[in-house]
Amino acid sequence: MNNLRTLVRTGVTIVIIALLGWYTWKQTIAQPQYTIGLVYCPSFPFHESINTTLIQKLKADGRFKIQTFAVPTVNDMVIVNSIGGSALESTADAIVSTGISCSQAVTQLSRKRNSLKPIVFVGVSDPVSCGIISSLENPGENITGISSSLPYDDNFNAANLLMVVKPNTRHVLLPYIATDNESMAKNIKTTLASYSVATTLLPVNNETEALMRITGKLLGHDTLMYLEDDGLAAQGPAMGKLASQHNVTMFAGSIDGVENAALSYVANPASLGNHAFDLIKQVFLDRKNRSTIPVQYAVIKRNLIINTALCKEQGLKDIKLSLTPILAHIRSDERFALMHDNIIVK
C-alpha cells in the first residue's frame, strides 16, 4: 500500500512539474521577446501595403513588438537618412526597411557606424545596383532581404493592354510627373500611334497642379491614362471622378488600384510582407547565422481589374457584351502572362 501511495505521489509530482514547465514555457513564448523597427513611408501605397501585412503577421505571432519610424517622403534623402539613423540608434532588435531610399539609408548608415543590428530590406528590385548590398548570395554580416520584381514593369507597355480591353480608343490624355516617367510616357505614345491612336502627353511638375491641368485638357479625349510608379498617386481617385463626369475611360496603372477607375492594372506587393516576416523568423526564432541567409527573390503579382459599374460612367457601357472575347485574348497573350490568372471583374 505504501509503495502504491509513493508511486501516486511521484506521479502527481511529475504531472505538476510538467504542467508548471509547460505554463512557464507558454508564458515565455506568448510574451513579446523582440522589437522590430519598421522604416517606411506610410503615404506611399507600395510601402503601406507591405507593412500592413507584415504588422499583422508580427502581431499574430505574439513574440514581437513593433516600433515604427515613419518617413514623410522618400524624395528627400536628408529626412530619410535622419529617420534611418534614429532607427539604428533605437532599442529595436532589428530593422525592416521598405523600398530603395529607406533601405539605402539604413544599410549605408549601418556600415558607416559599424552596426551589427540585423537589417531586412524589402521592396527593392535590384539591391546590388542600388548599393544596398554587394552580393545576393553574401549580402553581409547583418543584412539580408527580399529582391522583388518591380511593382511596375519596364518591359510591359500598358498601351497594348488598353487596346485589347478598349479597341475603339482614339484620343488618350496621359498626365505624368515630368521627372518620373518621361521615357515610359513616350513609349506608350509610340505604341498607341501604331494603333492609329493620338496621345496627348501632359507632363506636370507636381500633384498640386496636375488636376487643374488635366481638367483643362480632358475635352476631346476618350481615355485618361494614369501611369504606374508615378508621383500622381494621391490624385488617382480625383482623376477617376473627373473621368466619370466627362464620360471618359480611366485606365490606371498603379500599386494598389484606383477605386474610381473603370480599368486598373494593379501590382499587389502585400505578399512581400509575408516574405519579410519569414526572414525575421529565420534570424530570431530559427537562430540562423545572418551571414548565411542569402537574399530571397519574390514576384509581385499583377491584377487586371475591370469595374463594370464604372465602365458605364466612363464610356464603356457595353463592355459586358464583349468581356468573354476580351478575357480570352488576354489569357492567351504572353505579353500579359503575369495577369493570366489574376483578372478581377466586379
pLDDT tens, residue by residue, 240-252: 899 999 999 999 8
Q: Phi/psi of residue 239, each to 5°?
A: -65, -35
Contact 222, 249 (CB under 8 A): yes
C-alpha cell at 342: 489574376
Residue 10: count of CB within 10 angstroms of its CB: 10
CATH superfamily for 32-149+269-298 is Response regulator (3.40.50.2300)
Winning range, highest mean pLDDT, from 3-12, 94-103, 287-296, 299-308 = 94-103
C-alpha cell at 163: 487596346
Average pLDDT on 146-166 reads 80
Tell which CATH classification among 3.40.50.2300, 2.60.40.10, 1.10.150.240, 3.30.70.20 matches the domain 158-268+316-345.
Answer: 3.40.50.2300
Measure the CA dihedral 133/138/141/144, to 10°.
60
Reduce the secondary structure of the chain to three states and give it as a string: CHHHHHHHHHHHHHHHHHHHHHHHHHHHHHCCCEEEEEEECCCCHHHHHHHHHHHHHHHHHCCEEEEEEECCCCCCHHHHHHHHHHHHHCCCCEEEEEHHHHHHHHHHHHHHCCCCCCEEEEEECCCCCCCCCCCCCCCCCCEEEEEECCCCCCCCCHHHHHHHHCCCCCEEEEEEECCCCHHHHHHHHHHHHHCCCEEEEEEECCHHHHHHHHHHHCCCCCEEEECCCCCCHHHHHHHHHHHHHCCCEEEEEECCCCCCCCEEEEECCCHHHHHHHHHHHHHHCCCCCHHHCCCEEECCCEEEEECHHHHHHCCCCCHHHHHHHHHHHHHHCHHHHHHCCCEEEC
Averaged pLDDT, 110-128: 92
CA 87 – CA 37 distance, rounded (Å): 6
- Mean pLDDT across 103-110: 95
More confident residue, 154 or 191: 191
Tens-place pLDDT, residues 307-329: 999 999 999 988 888 899 999 99
Q: Could you report the per-residue pLDDT of 269-293, keeping only the tens digit for each?
A: 888 999 999 999 888 876 666 556 8
Q: What is the pTM of this model?
A: 0.70
Q: How far apart are CA 93 and CA 280, in angstroms?
A: 11
C-beta of residue 120 within 8 angstroms of C-beta of residue 144: yes
Domain locations in the chain? 32-149+269-298, 158-268+316-345
Do the domains spanning 32-149+269-298 and 158-268+316-345 agree at the CATH topology level? yes
Please check the confidence at residue 133 and state whether its pLDDT lies above 80.
yes
